Amino acid sequence: MHRRVLSAVYGTLLAGSALLSGCASVANTAYPPIQADSSAEALKRGEGIFRGACEACHRGPDSQRVTGAPMKDAPAFLGSLHTANLTSHPTAGIGSAKDEELARVIRYGVSRDGRVIPMPGSIMGDRDLAAVLGFMRSSHPLFDADATVAPRTEFSFIGKLAIGAVLKVPEHPASGMPVPDKASTLEYGRYMAHVLDCAGCHTNSMDPKAADGSKGFSGGREFLGADGKPIRSANITFDATGIQGWSAEDFNRAVRDGLTPDGHIVRYPMPRYRGADEADLKAVYEYLRSLPLRRNEVEGARPHTAPAASTPAASLSTEAVEPGANVSTSALSELTDLVLAQAEPKKDVDPAALFARLGCTLCHAPGARYHNRITQAVGKSEQDLARWIRNPEQFVPGTAMPTYASLVDEPTALVLAKWIKAGGPSAPRK
């Protein structure tokens, strides 16, 4: 959830010292009377939301549990920011926390000790909030007790000014917040687009309400990528500078598997919404299609499908697409061209070039956020590593790694696996 906050504080040094009150105690904020729902249906729902909105922030790159992580995406001038340990440990984690205390953190962004924290309050309805709490209370391995003590977030003086300018306790009611009926409706789509934080990440504004205005979902908000370099979020309206031409299948594949129709990786820090079901994604897709077209060519962000060589760029439509209307896409034919090997064991493959072409260097090059995962993978067999490359979600549900099975066949994955075991991106080039 911190992605929206971190991006929102960029450039907020307009505030005066009076804004320090934004970090003052708000211990009188109401405790939502919401209890964890541990039913099978709720646990499935809660896992989907948690993995999409919470896991990426609270699970470090080298941890299998949500023990908290440094917020490396944050500019250094803000201070030392760290997410909380959410495991079941009674002192280091949330084992001793009451449901209503955790509900207050999620709904209002107010910590258990009464501080405004760098996590925005959520519009999540009561039923979904109960489901998330149920998942957090479950026996899932993510929450196995871990005594790792997450460092307390300490803002610098400038950081306090910036956070004070952005973070306000939302005016949500303590209870009675509804969850729209789960269907391919604009109401449910808008709800999920905010719960999963599409709105905050893809709107370039400090104002949380800006997603409903002229900049909404048109991209441009700055983050730090997995390689430590600044990147900007993409325009996800259906303008030609956004995702015009995407089918529902294209959208689902990008959101779940992390690959755009033209084979580009969906970059960190965007998570993979592995747990989102068809109704969730269909509703968000239809909601995005209902938005006014917003022309904003974000430099360095390429979510939109490149026109086929036979189709002049000028022929792309700039008219709004009616909700429910069919969308044509050249994605399948383009993907056919992008398949890098067709079960030909003798096919000549340059693993280093392929590694770069697939976008792996963004996360796994020396110095990148997930480089250690590559060094740890050396201990796996070539066969296991190849299976991991093609379908990582089968080994770590919710992983941020894209699913490459449609682009990389088994023989090619084995070539990559052998190269990785020999040193991969850390090995000297010949």
Cis amide prior to 269 (ω within 30 degrees): yes
Give residue 126's pLDDT: 98
Rounded to whole angstroms, how far apart are CA atoms 13 and 39? 46
Report pLDDT digits (tens) over 224-244: 888 888 889 999 999 999 999
CATH 1.10.760, domain 339-426, yes or no: yes
Name the region of 93 (left: φ>0; alpha: ψ -120 to 50; beta: rest): beta
Domain ranges of the chain: 2-166, 186-329, 339-426
The structure's pTM equals 0.79
* Nearest CA-CA partner of 323 in 181, 182, 186: 186
Confidence of residue 8 (pLDDT cuts 50, 70, 90): very low
pLDDT band at 313 (very low <50, low <70, confident <90, very high): very low
Q: What is the rounded average pLDDT of the residues 353-361?
A: 86
User: Using 50, 70 and 90 to split pLDDT, how confident is the model at 30?
Assistant: very high
Tell me which of 279-283, 362-366, 410-414 is least confident.
Answer: 362-366
pLDDT at 189: 96
pLDDT at 94: 97
Q: How confident is the model at residue 66 (pLDDT cuts 50, 70, 90)?
A: very high
At residue 142, the pLDDT reads 95
pLDDT tens digits along 91-140: 999 999 999 999 999 999 898 888 888 787 899 999 999 999 999 999 99
Residue 197 has pLDDT above 60, yes or no: yes
Closest to 51 (Cα-Cα) out of 90, 12, 86: 86
- Specify the 3-state DSSP secondary structure of 235: coil
- Pick the range with the lowest mean pLDDT from 19-23, 45-49, 182-186, 204-208: 19-23
Please determine, for residue 270, whether its predicted confidence score (pLDDT) is greater than 50. yes
| Whether the predicted pLDDT of 46 surpasses 80 | yes
- Mean pLDDT, residues 401-417: 89
Residue 177 to residue 106: CA distance in whole angstroms: 13
pLDDT for residue 159: 77
